[in-house]
Amino acid sequence: MNDDWDEDFEEHITALEKFFDERTMSVHLVERNPPRAKRGGPGNWELVSLSERILTYEELDILAEAIIETARYDQDSFIEIDEEGAAVVQLRNFRIAIARRPFADKMEISAIRPITKLDINEYHLSTKLMKRLETRAEGILISGSPGSGKSTFAAALAEFYSQKGNVVKTLEQPRDLQVSEEIVQYAPLDGSMEKAADVLLLVRPDFVFVDELRKDRDFAIYSDLRSAGTGMVGVVHAGSAIDAIQRLIHGGRVELGQVPSTVDTVLQIEAGRVAKVISLTLKVKLPTGMSSSQRDLARPVVEIRDFEQGYLEHEIFMFGGEKVVVPVRGGTSQTPSTQFRSKRGTPGESVPVSVSYSKKKVKVYAGRKYSKTRLEIFADEQYLFTTVIGRNGESSIRIKTRQGSMLVDAMEEGAIITAKVAQ
């Protein structure tokens, strides 16, 4: 490294650091816009303008090139992604995403710097939960909305396992978890997460942290490593713990009988704290709410319980050839047999749905309780369309229609599909 380059490096770091203070989570520099920053903490931040000066393409282009060139030579920096129109760079303790034409209609540089690193003890988890994490839980999902503090908790848990004498690795794209030196962080090998997972098996880790789970391949790698006996922890965007399970079983990613052996514990993070924990077990039983006279309908059922209180919240089982996730309240269940006798929902009511598709059709199953009911369909809280549930409890939509293609595209992108009774 020559002295000129070293001086340039410090200039680039300074150019970024001047936008940050101790409360700044990320800085967003967009062409023809003033510089903005997210300030606060997980679950409690605001977007603020840093000045009234309008940024130009030329200055952002110079800064982007400087960031990329600096990362090529600095031993503590590296380039994660470098494609036409997009780049992701780890510049020391900054993770920087660069977007430009033709990928984006404006030049943009987003820089993220971790402001919080916590010890697991700072989360004040119950003795019961700490014991499960230490001795029993080996398939864990950490769920939450963007900015809720999922990655911060994942890093704290990784440190906890490492300090207990376990070999801990991470598999990330980009490498975002802030962990100690003894934890090796892996990225895609030759652009392939599958190849990286194959190497991970050879180094025999006790726990692998995957940040984050979105696409089918991510869940497949998680499931494959877990089946090989590796302790797995996955970070997933989800509005609730049960939504994280919905994403796990979506599209047949994991067979029903393998669900509890793949994931046994889900921790929902909200505003930087563990707000909810659920546990999963598999039993062969009659789904809750079905008449005892229907014992011939007993089947494998995944029970989902509130971990701290122990009460049953949901059941997952096969019905009509589909996996259905059914809420259980007060010891009774909204299973298909009881749903059929219930009155229709009220406007705005959330409706549990399962979605499947074949080469020709997409099916939205809601149960006969909602037959002849208009449902609004959402993907990650974004409204898609309104459909009518038929007498058989489902709506069948041709894939070639606009609604069908929208729904399939959203599912393939890993979106969570929800529904509400139309107003």
pLDDT digits (tens, 9 = 90+) for 259-298: 999 999 999 999 889 999 999 999 998 888 776 666 678 8
The radius of gyration computed from the CA coordinates of the chain, to the nearest angstrom, equals 24
Q: What are the phi and psi torsion angles at 417 (to 5°)? A: -95, 125
Question: How much is the mean pLDDT over the chain?
Answer: 86
pLDDT of the residue at 12: 61
Residue 2 pLDDT greater than 70, yes or no: no
Q: What are the phi and psi torsion angles at 11 (to 5°)? A: -65, -40
Mean pLDDT (whole number) for 183-187:
89
Record: fold of 120-312:
Rossmann fold (3.40.50)
pLDDT of the residue at 267: 97
Three-state SS at 21: coil
Contact 177, 185 (CB under 8 A): yes
Residue 368 pLDDT greater than 50, yes or no: yes
What single-letter DSSP state applies at residue 252?
G
Residue 31 pLDDT greater than 60, yes or no: yes
Range scoring the smallest mean pLDDT among 12-21, 125-134, 160-169, 404-413: 12-21
Using omega within 30 degrees of 0 as the cis cutoff, is the peptide bond preceding 212 cis? yes
What is the value of pTM for the model shown?
0.67
CATH class of residue range 3-112: alpha beta
pLDDT of the residue at 279: 95
- Compute how many other C-beta atoms are within 10 angstroms of the C-beta atom of residue 188: 17
What is the band of 405 on the pLDDT scale with cuts at 50, 70, 90? confident
Residue 179 pLDDT greater than 70, yes or no: yes
Mean pLDDT (whole number) for 238-253:
91
Domain boundaries, the chain: 3-112, 120-312, 340-421
Residue 329 pLDDT greater than 90, yes or no: no
Residue 107 pLDDT greater than 80, yes or no: yes
Question: Which of 73-82, 222-231, 339-348, 389-398 is modeled with the greatest confidence?
Answer: 222-231
pLDDT of the residue at 126: 92
pLDDT of the residue at 343: 45
What residue type is assigned to position 142 of the chain? Answer: I
The more confident residue out of 383 and 233 is 233
Contact 35, 53 (CB under 8 A): yes
Nearest to 219 by CA among 23, 414, 387, 419: 414
What residue type is assigned to position 206 of the chain? Answer: D
Angstrom distance (rounded) from CA 206 to CA 145: 28
pLDDT of the residue at 340: 34
Q: Which alpha helices (H) appear in 164-269, and where do they start and end?
A: 193-202, 216-227, 241-249, 259-262
Angstrom distance (rounded) from CA 221 to CA 183: 20
Mean pLDDT (whole number) for 302-329:
88
pLDDT of the residue at 287: 87
